[in-house]
Amino acid sequence: MSYKQLIEGQRYQIEAYLREGFSYREIGNRLKVSHSTISREVRRNRIRGTHYLPEVAQSKTVKRRRSAAKYRVSALTIVFVEFGLTEKWSPEQIAGVGKLIGHPVSHEWIYGYVQRDKLSGGKLHTQLRHGRRKYRKGSRAKRVIIPNRVGIEHRPAIVDRKKRFGDWEADTVLGKNGTGAIVSLVERKSKFYLIRKVPAKSAAEVSRAMVGMLWRYRRHVHTITADNGTEFCAHELVAEKLKTDVYFANPYSSWERGLNENFNGLLRQFISKGTDLSTVTDEQIAQAQRALNLRPRKCLGYKQPEVVFNQLRGAA
């Protein structure tokens, strides 16, 4: 016999049959349910190890059903989850926003949902982030001498706290075999991210791109922190044009620009490592930038960087 849920009246019958000494199989035959259903019912609801009381069993069952209902995910919430995945949001980000908009769901449930979808032949798992960055072992390249370099140790302490609007981090993402680079900038407080493709990783191209990207926001550029690559050798030109101060992280200390490193990793969801950048259009770059700035961030209370940036810009 297949499994069937018991009703309250049958629980009183089970108690009576147990008192008369009937086996689980005999009780199941009389109630026309599987003997395993009877066994499970008694095992889950007995008290003090051996006693079965129908009123207690019914109360426990109702409580379990109410508890399960709390975690039942509605069809509309599932639509929202799938939307978030197609936008390449992480399960944690989806769960955070879902709580804010009245569609609560745990990130654990989302991972389980994606796994079940994968086992049934679905493609939702392809929207999740994969892998972690791998660092090559080996000798380090010769250190670049950047003219008039000012180290991060001289940067104002307020920048470290990420409380002031207008402090930026800068970096570049390389294309395959010298096919260009992507210049990236991120504002530390709002997490607002800017990217632009350049034909070469040269100081002239990178400095020109940085000025162009930040020109409309130049009133909100207090500092820029960059790494020690040759592409940032024209930092004095950038500082002069934008009326700002440029500082450099310590060599081999990427964590000092951790926010920019994180965003460059997220960019790989849209432009994978080893991509020939000559095949990537400006529109694709703009789409990736837009998607990342509209992605809710836990550190912002699941607000979107673009929204926070515009709010801070308006209040400044």
DSSP 194-216: EEEEESS--HHHHHHHHHHHHGG
pLDDT band at 184 (very low <50, low <70, confident <90, very high): very high
Locate 78 and state its tokens: 């599932």
Residue (of 159, 172, 151, 168) closest to 251 by Cα position: 151
- Mean pLDDT across 13-19: 91
How high is the pLDDT of residue 143? 58
Q: Is the CA virtual torsion 106, 305, 183, 244 positive or negative?
A: negative
Q: How large a percentage of the chain has pLDDT more than 90?
A: 62
Q: How far apart are CA 254 and CA 195, in angstroms?
A: 19
Asked whether the beta carbons of 300 and 294 are under 8 A apart, the reply is no
Asked whether the beta carbons of 52 and 20 are under 8 A apart, the reply is no
Q: How far apart are CA 148 and CA 60, in angstroms?
A: 74
For the entire predicted model, the pTM comes to 0.66
Q: How large a percentage of the chain has pLDDT more than 70?
A: 92
Residue (of 270, 34, 247, 92) closest to 155 by Cα position: 247
Chain segment 104-141, per-residue pLDDT in tens: 999 989 998 998 888 888 889 988 876 444 444 444 44
Q: How far apart are CA 14 and CA 106, in angstroms?
A: 38
Chain segment 261-285, per-residue pLDDT in tens: 899 999 999 999 889 999 999 999 9
- Mean pLDDT across 16-33: 91
The burial of 101, by beta-carbon neighbours within 10 Å (0-12 exposed, 13-18 middle, 19 or more buried), is given as exposed
